[in-house]
Amino acid sequence: MNVSQSNLNNSVLKAFDLLEHFHPDKPAWGVRELAQHIGANKSTIYRLLATLEHIGVLQQHPETEKYSLGLKLFELGHRVGIQSALVNKTHDILEEVTKEITENVHLGILQSNEVLVVDKVDSPKGLKLNFQLGSRSPLHCTSMGKTLLAFAEKQEEIIEELDLFSKTPYSLTQKMGLIAALNQIRKDGFALDREEYELGLICLGVPVFNQNGKAIAALSASGPANRFREEALKDYVAILQKGASAIQQKIGNFQIKF
């Protein structure tokens, strides 16, 4: 566990490295278990866990004694959205778009070669097989991902680093095919995901530009395949694009660090 780097605070780096290991697939860890997984001494891990538990960033289950993410993190994490110009100022626009399309609407940004969902509004209709706020999704098989990639400045670099795994039989797994799709998306001004991410799920995405013309986010609508008929798509694209330009006007020259 040698995280040492320039002038950065080692303990802080290690603490957040620890927190990364608490994800939905493995939300609770014991001391030895986590120490072994990371390859660090159990005393070190114990003290880090105890520290994080002390301030509420982690909580220890009273019976199992395992640690999981705590409410302090919940609180701090939600402050980000409240304080972020992108999320805070534009939530109302997402609600309007949702009302018009009556499907789940998401706002996502490009981060670490994935889509990070930064805001969403659920459709009044039932059926909620969709993306969680704060979750990450792959770039190559989602409408938001392909949109962001199509308008990304470092598109080629990013594609080189991607793992074009097959999420469904419809996923684009070939570099050439992906690049062709991206070119088409740039021409069309929208991206379509026909069950590339999940069978039965169709997503439609459009880019959100800032006032310098840089694509800083993607806006998408998603729902079950039977509700996304060919004839409806054109209307949906128009509604999404209207929402995207409304966002553009609200945020001005907003920038996001990738």
Partner DNA sequence: AACAGTGTTTCAAATAATGAAACGACTATA
Partner DNA sequence: TATAGTCGTTTCATTATTTGAAACACTGTT
Instruction: Please report how close the Cβ of residue 11 comes to DNA at its closest, in angstroms.
Output: 5
Q: Which residue of 37, 41, 79, 165 would you call a contact of DNA, by CB under 7 A?
A: 41
Interface mask toward DNA for 64-103; x: CB under 7 A: -xx-------------------------------------
Instruction: Please report how close the Cβ of residue 257 comes to a second copy at its closest, in angstroms.
Output: 5
Nearer to a second copy, 12 or 225 (CB): 12
Q: Is 1 in the site for DNA (CB under 7 A)?
A: yes
Candidate ranges 46-54, 156-164, 173-181, 212-220; the one touching a second copy (CB under 8 A): 46-54
19, interface contact from DNA, a second copy, none, CB < 5-8 Å by kind: a second copy
Q: Which residue has the tokens 């996001």?
A: 256
Half-sphere exposure of 205 (CA within 13 A, CB side): 35
Candidate ranges 13-21, 163-171, 176-184, 242-250; the one touching a second copy (CB under 8 A): 13-21
Using only the alpha carbons of the chain, give its radius of gyration: 20
Instruction: Please report how close the Cβ of residue 227 comes to a second copy at its closest, in angstroms.
Output: 20
Instruction: Please report how close the Cβ of residue 86 comes to DNA at its closest, in angstroms.
Output: 23
> Quick one: three-class SS letters along 13-65?
HHHHHHHHCCECCECEECHHHHHHHHCCCHHHHHHHHHHHHHCCCEEECCCCC
Query: Where is 160: in which H helix or E strand?
Result: helix 155-161
133, interface contact from a second copy, DNA, none, CB < 5-8 Å by kind: a second copy
- Show the tokens assigned to 232: 């409806």
Selection from 108, 217, 205, 113 nearest residue 156 by Cα: 113
Q: Is 118 in the site for a second copy (CB under 8 A)?
A: yes
Residues that bind a second copy (rule: CB under 8 A) add up to a total of 57
Half-sphere exposure of 168 (CA within 13 A, CB side): 13
Contacts of 212 (CB under 8 A, 6+ apart): 253
Cα separation, 129 vs 135, in Å, equals: 13
Q: Which residue of 93, 94, 107, 116 would you call a contact of a second copy, by CB under 8 A?
A: 116
